[in-house]
Amino acid sequence: MKKILLTLSFLCAIAGQSQSVVIDRLESDGSRQIMTSTKCINLGDFSFYIGLKMYEMENGRDWLLLLSSYNCIPEDNIILLKLNNDQIITLPVTNINSGPVDSYTPVYHIGNTSFVMTENSRTYYSSVYVISPAELDDIETYGIKKIRTGNNVMCYEKQYTHNALGKFITKSKKTILDQTKNSMVTKKTSIYDGF
C-alpha cells in the first residue's frame, strides 16, 4: 500500500509540472502565436498566474512573459527576476488589460463538490512583458531565486530555493519550440480548402 501511495504521489507531482500548449494559432498579420499553460504562484498573500508566449514572424520571434491576477496590476508595473548569479532582469509591462469576470464560490457537500455562481463579479488583470532570448537563456543557465512585482502601494515577492520558477519558464520555452517543429499550423488556410 505504501508503494502504491508513493507511486501515485510521484505521478501527481509529474503531472503538476507538465506543460501543454494552450494556444497555437495564426494571427491576421501572418504571425503565429503559441502559448503554454500557466503556473499559479503565490506572492505574499496573493495568487498570480505566470506563463510564456511566443509570436513567430517572418523576421524572428518575440517572447512574452504573462502575469495575471485578481490583484491589481498597475499600468506601469515591473517584474524583477533575480537569478542565482545575482543578475537582475527587469521586465516593464508592455500591455495590460483588465475587466470584470464572474466569480465562482465552491460549495462543499459531503461526498462531492459543486460550484455555484455568485452574483458578484471581480476585476481580473492580465499583463504582458517582453523578455529577450538572451534573458531566457540566462534563466535556463542560472535559474531564478526571487521574483518581485507590486501595485504602487506594496511589493509582492517570493524566493525560490530549488529554481521552480526558472525550471517552469525553461520548460515552457522548450514546449513552445517543440510545438514550432511538430505542429501543422504553418500557413493560413481557408475554410474552402479541399471542400
What is the domain-level CATH number for residue 67?
A: 2.60.40
pLDDT, tens digit, for every residue of 26-56? 888 888 999 999 999 999 888 999 999 999 9
| pTM for the whole structure | 0.77
Helix H or strand E segment including 40: strand 39-43
Confidence of residue 11 (pLDDT cuts 50, 70, 90): very low
* Residues spanned by the domain of 169: 23-182
* Cα 133 from Cα 169, distance rounded (Å): 12
* Cα 189 from Cα 27, distance rounded (Å): 12
Least trusted range by pLDDT, from 2-16, 49-63, 148-162: 2-16
11 falls within a domain = no
96 falls within a domain = yes
82 falls within a domain = yes
CA distances from 37 to 10, 40, 64, 117, 138 (A): 21, 10, 13, 25, 22
Residue 3: per-residue pLDDT: 46
pLDDT, tens digit, for every residue of 95-152? 999 988 866 555 555 555 555 555 567 889 999 999 999 999 999 999 999 999 988 8
Q: Are 55 and 43 in contact (CB under 8 A)?
A: no
55 falls within a domain = yes
7 falls within a domain = no
85 falls within a domain = yes
Residue 108: per-residue pLDDT: 53
* 43 bridge partner residues: 46
Of all residues in the chain, the percent with pLDDT exceeding 70 is 77
* Cα 74 from Cα 134, distance rounded (Å): 26
6 falls within a domain = no
* 53 bridge partner residues: 35, 64
Q: What sign for the dihedral angle of Cα 58, 63, 66, 72?
A: negative
Query: Does 117 or 184 have the greater pLDDT score?
Result: 184
Residue 103: per-residue pLDDT: 62
Please state the domain count of the chain. Answer: 1
17 falls within a domain = no
